[in-house]
Amino acid sequence: MKRLATMAAALLLAAVTAAAQISAGAGYLNSTKKQYDKSATAGGFFAEAAYARGIGYGFALSAGLRYSYLACSDPASAGFVNYSVMGSLEEKEHYLSLPLHVQYIFPFYGGADLVFFLGPEFSYCVSSRTSLFYEEPVLGSSSRFTLDNVAKGYKPFDVIGSAGLSVDLFGKVRLTGSYGYGFLDHAGKDYNILRRSEWRVGVSYLF
């Protein structure tokens, strides 16, 4: 009886291990903020870890944690009576996201699998700061100041609808491309809605 219990426990552990998969990876991120007819694009990188569990018939459920860093820099100018103030505008942001996805795994060719996934992602902006450096060429003066966008009213929380495609190579390496669209307004004003979307490409190692 004891031997049967040991064998059953070993089989159960093997089944759970086979059905579960842990991955860790990183990649490039391109984000766009749109406010009516205006838009701003930022680039950066992300690092993430995820846990997936098979539920049968080729489907799996996954949950993860992602850190994202974004930065953009644009020239800025402001006209005055008879001269201009020239400068540069730089924005840096840090996000944490919790992606919850449904996956469908399709065996492909030569040891490769196609993984289609979609689901919500809960995103939180940990930090968003804008730095402005400007100089006045006539008077020869310059200055720099930094704004904390979250403290100034930027809404940090977002719910993102995400979908993408991955290619698993030999059960060890995963190449992924995905798109996410944020449904919540970051400005918090009905007449000035600000939403964020992003493209991601990355590579992960499967454990």
- The per-residue pLDDT for range 39-74, each reduced to its tens digit, is 888 999 999 999 999 999 999 999 999 999 999 877
Q: Is 6 left (phi over 0), alpha (psi -120 to 50) or beta?
A: alpha
**85 pLDDT higher than 50:** no
* pLDDT band at residue 2 under the 50/70/90 scheme: low
- Using CB atoms within 10 A of its CB, is residue 42 exposed (0-12), middle (13-18) or buried (19+)? buried
Q: What is the pTM of this model?
A: 0.81
- pLDDT tens profile 138-168: 666 677 778 898 888 889 999 999 999 999 9
Residue 31: the pLDDT is 94
Alpha carbon of residue 155 to chain centroid: 17
